[in-house]
Homo-oligomer: A and B are copies of this chain.
């Protein structure tokens, strides 16, 4: 019976794989990887091949989404294949599809988890995990059309006292990564139309760049200021805090350089 192991690569470079992940790759008879669902800015495939002692075949979105991951399933059917994925491997829906397809063909599947932007940004924000509501992605405008969903999700969460984690669109195959400034501009555009005072220049926001690297940039402040902050290279992520606990405000001030005035809210 064939076997397919999904291995999470973590966030930044080839050193973010776990010891368990390296073991799995070494035991596989074929190793595949994809780098279009997320960006790992420091990753060298060659270094990863050296660590694992295996050749790694990179598969495209096309192979996974149009050809249903056939080359991977063929190799898995013969013995044991490993499929390397940035972050935690099953957060991307397309990989859940591949897993279902494998199981339906009688291929045994397993998962080696990796560090994910989902928990990394929560940790770096210093805001409490259980106070995050649903998350949302801010997409690039399509033919000038700006999605209003992110704006609505932030509002919905805030009304319930919940923080919102906003992923920013990634089009790795076109090398386009939405920046914090572009994400905020998209939300301010929606504000102009909807006028519900959800995002203004004085709304508190947190930007995170390159989570998982040795030099992430984590900066909290008002939208007007954060838009002009230099966050450096992608990937970027945004968090909109709702009502803060005292300790959450302390975290934003000490760990993310938020203005001291946010403390006033607790006097």
Residues of A within 8 A of B (CB): 8, 10-20, 22-23, 51, 87-91, 93, 96-97, 99-100, 103-104, 110-111, 113-116, 118-120, 122-124, 126, 128-137, 156, 160, 162, 211-212, 214, 247, 250-251, 254-255
Bound state CA distance, A227 and B128, in angstroms? 30
A134, B136: Cβ atoms closer than 8 Å:
no
Further pairs besides A17-B19, A100-B255, A132-B134: 15, Cβ < 8 Å: A10-B113, A17-B18, A19-B19, A19-B22, A87-B119, A88-B123, A93-B128, A93-B247, A96-B247, A96-B251, A113-B115, A115-B116, A118-B119, A118-B129, A119-B119
Residues of chain B with a CB closer than 8 A to A247's CB? 93, 96-97
Residues of chain B with a CB closer than 8 A to A89's CB? 123
Residues of chain B with a CB closer than 8 A to A114's CB? 115
Q: How far is the CB of A105 from chain B (nearest CB, A)?
A: 11
Residues of chain B with a CB closer than 8 A to A126's CB? 90, 96, 99-100
Q: Which of A103, A104, A131, A134 has the most CB of B within 10 A?
A: A134
B20, A16: Cβ atoms closer than 8 Å:
yes
Residues of chain B with a CB closer than 8 A to A13's CB? 20
